[in-house]
Amino acid sequence: MTTSGPSAYLQVAEQIRDRIAAGEYPPGSRLPSLADLQEQYGFSHGVGQSAYRLLEQEGVVLAQQGRGYFVREQEAHRTLVRRRPADGAPGPDNAFLAEQGVTTGLRSQSTTEAATADVAERLGVEAGTPLMHTTYVYLVDGEPGYLADSWEPMAVTGRHLIVLPEAGPYIGLGVAARMAVIGIEVGEPVELVTARGLTRAEAQTLALLPGAPALAIRRTHYDQATGRPVETADLVLPGERWSTQYGRRPGA
């Protein structure tokens, strides 16, 4: 097959994609080199590079410097429960993840910063208001699995020992339990789930490609007595790795 013209790389990419789907190249296997593709299809190296670049962007192929191109292996798909378990424990349902054979952990960093216009609107405060900003990298089997950024007004937590979510005597309790320490009941958060592509920084942390599909969850906790927002967060879950589940069936 000899291919030419601006659509040549699209035709070549389709041929490679079809051969992968047919099982000719199983996950993890090495794909033909650019020289092999040129001999097989009769086009320049540039066309082959463009075809492989497209397949990389689609998440079908991985390029390894000095080694060539390989069929990407599909990762295990996990389910993240987005409601507190019946026992009232805060945060992700790690017990449910454990049922899926997952070990969990996290890395976090907290800093004080001024509220951006977007975060200020979500928290009902003025732009520039002091906030505690905590970034999270949630680990799954020791590797980055999903990401989160959380913001809390210093006016709410700044004078209390709960001010640092992942340090001090209340480390790791989660928003609901920490707020309860200072007499604020937050109940269930309000969450907005959308789909978007990973940013370059997110993709680098997660070892994925920029633009790969992701679930973006915008979460806000409210003081049940006053209706005031006391915490807001952005969670980012790679779409190829995660599903989200709201609630659990009785007895589960």
- Every domain of the chain and the residues it spans: 8-71, 78-245
Give dist(CA 147, CA 106) in Å, integer.
Answer: 9
CATH number of 8-71: 1.10.10.10
CATH class of 78-245: alpha beta
CB 107 within 8 A of CB 142: no
Establish whether domains 8-71 and 78-245 are of one fold.
no
Q: For 175-219, write each residue's pLDDT tens digit.
A: 999 999 999 999 889 999 999 999 989 988 998 878 888 999 999
pLDDT digits (tens, 9 = 90+) for 72-82: 876 666 777 66
CA-closest candidate to residue 177, choices 168, 169, 186: 186
What is the structure's pLDDT at 2? 47
